Structure 1
């Protein structure tokens, strides 16, 4: 599976594409500033207009004092150019965006650039520049830098990748995010830079760093069984409402560890679609939790293994390259 479509909505608002320079829409034809999540993008290959130029047009055309959510789409040459100029433009405009509460960096689909080829950068300046931000998302782990930061207001953090560097996981785990309710990490595979281990997740699993966490996603991982074995005894699970371990290489070993660990019957939902579970274990997991009122998405055995002639079995995360 790859990411084939842009975000339809973000931060509770429908996504709206700010017109490109050729369309030159009049301000009167644009939606109210606060009514949409504004997506600003340029061609990802040899664009005639650079992203900061498109953003400057946006600042002139829209009363940005009311803008609540921004989606950064493709910038030019995303496969080889970090979004430093994008980040600098956003930071420079912080005083013009007093109502900004949601920001997503890298809403880029496979036709523009595969997820693991998106070149990212240090995103901490964005969090530092917007202290009122409530939701932040970033796509792409290549060269991504996410040091430990303190942010008083952030409630939702999503990092989507085909391979998340251990340094990024450690930075997020060491952050001081007292308001965070939802954390979603796509750990990915070592083939695309995903070298994080369960030990890097320890501060998150211990439940001490994120006192208000209620939704946790640790997914799209080739070490999904190891993650599940750690979750089985993780203190943080006791106060979660929603747990997402989907999109990864989850086998019977990981599922059995969850069933034998801390009770999950207090959860509102458990998502583990795209997995490699046998029918018996899948049924046992679903029946056990649904009997307690937990909504379970266990998929339908949609993940398929590849087997070599020598008997080697290959299993894949949902989103890699």
Structure 2
């Protein structure tokens, strides 16, 4: 589960705009100095998110805002953010400096990640062509139609289960400037039904010429992803490769070691894994002398053995 909100957005500290009923300070931060977080109560909210944004719009020069964080909207476990998306699209001309947008910075206390109802997010990318960072949390009812975006450099989709249609939409999009792609694929139990075939265009790298950081993580098929990645053309130009938070075992790690060289990487993140100590030693000996920063933390991860069947778990599901 996700218990905390992000501590930084676009290199800026978050600032919660006062909620309904709270006094708005006379001296608010400079619009460019913080990531503005607008949130309403998840349960029985007395104010809708568009109403909260209207108050924000009246108090802050939104023309200078660079980073915007959409926290919880009203009853996100029942309602998608369509009114949020429509509200933001309606002010596209008023927010020419917006560079970072996070849709769904919602903690587990407000709504579990796999309970968050999402919506069609491509209109946001179309409305804000100068965005360089876009983050979405929640995979239920998420729709990501293929889109071309010239400026986007970082795309993150956090979920306990990412539908194959979303992965396909991302893979079929044209992002010529995208440097960092981070997908939390999740489990089938929570809608994560993407297969290796849906990741193929990403691993080929043909639509992502600027990519240098790739995260395909939190997956129940982490071994399969590792095996496919071991021979993927995109890896040769990566600096960061992240297959953390999933069910990676010795089979996947061995595939990585037997594939193309990884000594050019600056970071290989495999934390939350099911690796033996012998396999961890093999990885360290193969990569650390070359200067690869290797994260193998997995000491608190254990397999469940029930009825002679071994169960592994991703880090974030419900």
TM-score category by the smaller chain? Answer: over 0.9
Q: Distance in 2 between matches of 1:18 and 1:302?
A: 37
The alpha-carbon deviation at position 302 of structure 1 amounts to: 2.2
Residues 303 and 312 of structure 2 are in contact (CA less than 8 Å); yes or no, is this contact kept in structure 1?
yes
With the length of structure 2 as denominator, give the TM-score of the two structures: 0.99
Q: Which whole-Å deviations, capped at 9, do the CAs of 1:124-155 have from their partners, x for residues lacking one?
A: 01000000000000000000000110000000
Q: Which whole-Å deviations, capped at 9, do the CAs of 1:251-306 have from their partners, x for residues lacking one?
A: 00000000000110000001110000011001111221111000011104221211
Partner of 1:23: 22
The alpha-carbon deviation at position 123 of structure 1 amounts to: 0.1
Count of residues in Structure 1 that have an aligned counterpart in Structure 2: 318
Work out which of the residue numbers 288, 306, 311 in structure 1 matches 2:308.
311
Residues 20 and 46 of structure 2 are in contact (CA less than 8 Å); yes or no, is this contact kept in structure 1?
no
Partner of 1:195: 193
Q: Distance in 2 between matches of 1:24 and 1:125?
A: 33
SS of the residue 1:10 aligns to: coil
Q: Which whole-Å deviations, capped at 9, do the CAs of 1:91-143 have from their partners, x for residues lacking one?
A: 01111111000000000011111000100000001000000000000000000
Q: Which deviates more from structure 2 when the two are superposed, residues 242-251 or residues 7-16?
A: 7-16
With the length of structure 1 as denominator, give the TM-score of the two structures: 0.98
Alignment of 1:150-165 (within 5 A): 150-165=148-163
Q: Distance in 2 between matches of 1:286 and 1:296?
A: 7
Partner of 1:258: 256
Alignment of 1:64-143 (within 5 A): 64-143=62-141
| Alignment gaps of 5+ in structure 2 | none
Partner of 2:2: 3
The alpha-carbon deviation at position 46 of structure 1 amounts to: 1.3
Partner of 1:212: 210
Q: Which deviates more from structure 2 when the two are superposed, residues 188-197 or residues 17-26?
A: 17-26
Q: Distance in 1 between matches of 2:42 and 2:278?
A: 46
Q: Distance in 1 between matches of 2:6 and 2:232?
A: 32
Q: Distance in 2 between matches of 1:280 and 1:67?
A: 50
Q: Distance in 1 between matches of 2:298 and 2:132?
A: 35
Q: Which whole-Å deviations, capped at 9, do the CAs of 1:14-45 have from their partners, x for residues lacking one?
A: 1110111221213x321100000000000001
Partner of 1:37: 35
Work out which of the residue numbers 281, 284, 287 in structure 2 matches 1:283.
281
Residues 277 and 301 of structure 1 are in contact (CA less than 8 Å); yes or no, is this contact kept in structure 2?
no
Q: Distance in 2 between matches of 1:186 and 1:303?
A: 18
